[in-house]
Amino acid sequence: MKKLLLYLLLTAVAVLMLYPMLWLLGASFKTNDEIFTSAWFMPKGLDLSVYKRAWQTVTPYTMGRYFLNTFMIIVPKTVFAVLSSVLVAYGFARFDFPLKKLFYGLLICGMFMPAIVTIMPMYSFWSKLSLLDTYIPLTLPALFAGEGMFVFILIQFFKGIPREFDEAARIDGCGTLKTLFLVLVPCIKPAVISIAVFTFLWTMNDFLGPLIMIQSVEKYPLSLALRLSVDSTGQGYELRTVIAMSVIGLIPSVAVFALAQKKFVSGITAGGLSG
C-alpha cells in the first residue's frame, strides 16, 4: 500500500513538472483566443499545417538554416569548454606552480561575477578585432576555460582519484597528457558529460550573446529566429506558429538530455571515481 501511494505521488509530481511542456505542445494547435482564455493543454482541434508554417518561418530562411547556425556555435563551444576545463582542472588538482593559490582564488571569484558585466568589454574587444558578426566571439572564449564552475567541479573529481593511478600510468610509460586522457578522464566521464550537456543547453538558450555579436539575419541562431517571428508589439501574428517553432526548437535539448541523462545525473551527484 505504501508503494502504491508513493508511485501515485511520484506520478502526480511528474505530471505537474511536465505540464508546462504539455501545455506548450497543446498551445501550438490553439488559436490566439484559446491560448489566452484556457489553461487546459488540450486544443479543440489538430491542425498539423501549423508546423509546416513554423518550419518556413516569417523570414527568408527556414528553421533548418537557423538550426545549422546554432550548431555552428554549439559544437565548437562545447568541445572547447570541455577540453579547456579538463586541462585547467587537471593542472590545479595535480600540479604545484607559483601563485597557484592566487590563481585559484581568482577562479573562485570569477564564478561569482555576473556574465552581464563582461558584455560591453567583450563587444569592444571583438569590435576592435573586426570579428563582430562572426561566430568567433561566441565560441573562442570557451577555449580559455571561461566557466569557472566547470573547472571547480572537475577539480573536485580529480582530487577524488588516488594519485596511485597517475604513478601506475607513468610506470607503464604514459606521459602527462596520456595519463590525463587515457587514465583519469575515463574515471570522471560523468562530470565531463555533465559539462558538455550544460554547455549545450546554455548555448542553445543563449539570446543576449548572439543578439549583441551577430547582426546578419542569415547568421542568426534559433533563439534570435524565434524573436523575429513576433513583431515589435508582440501582436498581430498567429502565436501558435511561434509556439510551434519553440516546440521544434526544444527537440535537440530534450534529445541530448534524454540520451545523457544517466551520466548527467551521476555527474552531478557522484564522487570522483564514478563512471
pLDDT score for 267? 55
Average pLDDT, the chain: 85
Asked if the model's pLDDT at residue 275 lies above 50, the reply is: no
Q: For 68-269, CATH number? A: 1.10.3720.10
Q: CB pairs under 8 A, 24+ apart, for 93-100?
A: 93/154, 93/155, 93/158, 93/159, 94/158, 94/163, 94/166
Question: What tens digit of pLDDT does each residue of 4-36 get?
Answer: 888 888 888 888 888 888 888 888 888 777 778
- Domain map (residue ranges) of the chain: 68-269
pLDDT score for 271? 46
**11 with 205: CB under 8 angstroms?**
no
Instruction: Enter the pTM of the model.
Output: 0.85
Lowest mean pLDDT among 121-130, 208-217, 222-231: 222-231
pLDDT score for 38? 76
Lowest mean pLDDT among 87-91, 109-113, 234-238: 234-238
Run of H or E residues at 163: none
Handedness of CA 235, 225, 137, 260 (dihedral sign): positive
Asked if the model's pLDDT at residue 114 lies above 90, the reply is: no
Question: What tens digit of pLDDT does each residue of 221-249 get?
Answer: 998 988 877 754 455 567 888 888 989 99
Percent of the chain with pLDDT over 90: 33
Mean pLDDT calculated for residue range 259-267: 69
Give whole-number Cα distances, 198 to 51, 68, 124, 126, in Å: 28, 20, 27, 25
Nearest to 240, CA basis, from 63, 59, 74, 43: 43
pLDDT score for 268? 54
What DSSP string runs through 191-237? HHHHHHHHHHHHHHH--HHHHHH---GGG--HHHHHHHTS-TTS-SS
Mean pLDDT calculated for residue range 177-199: 90
Asked if the model's pLDDT at residue 189 lies above 50, the reply is: yes
Mean pLDDT calculated for residue range 179-203: 90
Q: How far is CA 174 from the centre of its chain?
A: 33
Which amino acid is residue 266, in one-letter code?
Answer: S
Give whole-number Cα distances, 252 to 20, 27, 68, 204, 259, in Å: 18, 20, 12, 9, 11
Asked if the model's pLDDT at residue 272 lies above 80, the reply is: no
Asked if the model's pLDDT at residue 92 lies above 70, the reply is: yes
- Identify the band that residue 270 occupies on the pLDDT scale cut at 50, 70 and 90: low
What DSSP string runs through 248-273? HHHHHHHHHHHHHHHHHHHHHHS-TT
Q: What contacts 104, CB < 8 A, 6 or more positions away?
A: 92
Mean pLDDT calculated for residue range 204-233: 84
